[in-house]
Structure 1
Amino acid sequence: MATCDHCSTHVSERFVRVFADDSGAVRACPNCSANAGIAEVMRKRTQRA
C-alpha cells in the first residue's frame, strides 16, 4: 500500500504513477498540500531530501 512520505496517508497506485518521484516516493498528497500546487510541493520536498 502506497503512502505519502510526508504525512503517511494512503495514496492510490494511480496517484503514485502520476505524482511519485523517480524513486517512487510520494512526498506530498492531497491531505498535506493544496491540490493545485501538489507537483510544486513534491519538487521542493524532493530537493530538500
Structure 2
Amino acid sequence: MPSCDHCGSHVSERFARVFADETGQVFACPNCSANAGIAEVARQRARA
C-alpha cells in the first residue's frame, strides 16, 4: 500500500501513479500539503 514518505499517510494507488517520482516515492499528499501545490511541494522535498 503506498504512503506519503513525508507524513506517512496512506495514499491511493492512483494518487501514487500521478504524484510519485520515478522510484515510487510520494513526497507530498493532501494531508501534509495544499491540494493546489502537491506537485510543487513534492519537487521541493525531493530535492532536499
State the TM bucket, normalised to the shorter chain: over 0.9
Which residue in 2 is equivalent to 1:43? 43
Give the TM-score of the pair, scaled to structure 2: 0.98
Distance in 1, Cα, partners of 2:47 & 2:21:
11
Partner AA of 2:34 in structure 1: A
Correspondence list, 1:1-49, <5 A: 1-48=1-48
Q: Could you say what the CA RMSD is over the residues aligned between the two structures, in angstroms?
A: 0.3
- Between the two proteins, what is the percent identity of the paired residues? 71
Displacement, 1:20?
0.2
TM-score (normalizing by structure 1): 0.96
Amino acid aligned to 1:9? S
Q: Flag structure 2 segments of 5+ consecutive residues without an equivalent.
A: none
